[in-house]
Amino acid sequence: MHGIFYDPIHDEIVVPVALGGAVLTLPGDAAGDAPPKRTLQGPKTGIVQPDTVYVDLVHDELIVESGDDSVLVFPRTAQGDVAPSRRIGGPNSEVSDIYGLAADAKRDCLVVANRVRNGVRASDDAILVFNRTDNGDPKPRNKIAGPHTGIIKIRQVDVDEERGLIFATIKNNFENYNVADPHPSPWDPDRTGFIGVWSIDDNGDVPPRGVIKGPATGLVWPAGVAFNPKNHEIYAIDSVSNALFMFKMPEFFLKAPGSPSPGR
């Protein structure tokens, strides 16, 4: 499994199972060989090889990365082999290889961490923002991508709905790695990854409004991100050090929504 979501309202753990083409929902107190409360699986679902999920607790919806270049939306309690309520995918949507999902219920939108594939430039990776109720093959309402963003090999995203901020982990240093050649290393210290912060209203080739990056951070290849606005903290896991990092960043949380934050 490559993703997980905890639902604090219903005390449920939601897990995408890539090899089984399923999404499992377990009770929060599950232990040992506990059966799931709900299983979402089958050809009608469109779920093929899901890696990441998100639950919109305001609208009671389960958002799933399908594993075949689309975003699927189900009622939160959907189970069995049922069709999604909505699907976003196709050439206009630009949805390709999804590595992260989030929702901003306050602004009624979905955020997709989108990678390109099939030899296209890694610098074309993007943060795509859609209207929450989009269906079919819509164009993103916002797209954050380009050389000034620094987005290369995007991984996970999370959204601070109170301030309208997107937190994203950017791996950055895997672009020219050749498995057959151990040099250069995929964890090139001169091209380390970072955590970037954007406004959910940003569009185009926009530099991040805040950055956590550099030797002092210990981050090399950050893979996951979360935040704690009450304590002004950003959390990240790193694939190289296999460690969890916590950063105290009050400047990210004390600014008015949409105003730039200093890098770090």
Domain ranges for the chain, please list them: 1-88, 90-264
pLDDT confidence of residue 223: 87
Q: For residues 21 and 67, is the Cβ–Cβ distance under 8 A?
A: yes
Sheet holding 243-248, edge to edge: 222-228, 233-238, 243-248
Report d(CA 191, CA 194) in Å as an integer.
9
Q: Give the C-alpha separation, 57 to 247, whole Å.
A: 27
Q: Which two tokens stand for residue 55?
A: 């639950």
pLDDT at residue 257, as a whole number? 45
pLDDT recorded at residue 263: 43
Instruction: State the pLDDT at residue 61.
Output: 97
CA 141 to chain centre: 17
Residues of the chain with pLDDT under 50: 174-179, 256-264
* Cα–Cα dist 180/59, whole Å: 47
Nearest one of 37, 39, 38 to 22, comparing CA atoms = 39
Intra-chain end-to-end CA distance of the chain, in Å: 32
CATH superfamily, domain at 90-264:
YVTN repeat-like/Quinoprotein amine dehydrogenase (2.130.10.10)
Query: CB–CB of 159/167 below 8 Å?
Result: yes
Using CA atoms of 46, 52, 55, 56 in order, give the dihedral in degrees to the nearest 10: -90
Q: What does the pLDDT read at residue 218?
A: 87
- Cα dihedral: 145, 148, 152, 156 (round 10): -60
Query: Is the separation of the CB atoms in 233 and 246 below 8 Å?
Result: yes
Q: Residue 188: what pLDDT?
A: 57
Residue 173 amino acid letter: N
Triad 130, 133, 134: Cα angle to 5°: 55
Q: pTM for the full model?
A: 0.88
* Residue 85, φ and ψ in degrees, nearest 5: -70, -40
Residue 241: the pLDDT is 80
pLDDT, position 138 = 97
CATH code linked to domain 1-88:
2.40.10.480
Intrachain domains 1-88 and 90-264 with the same fold: no
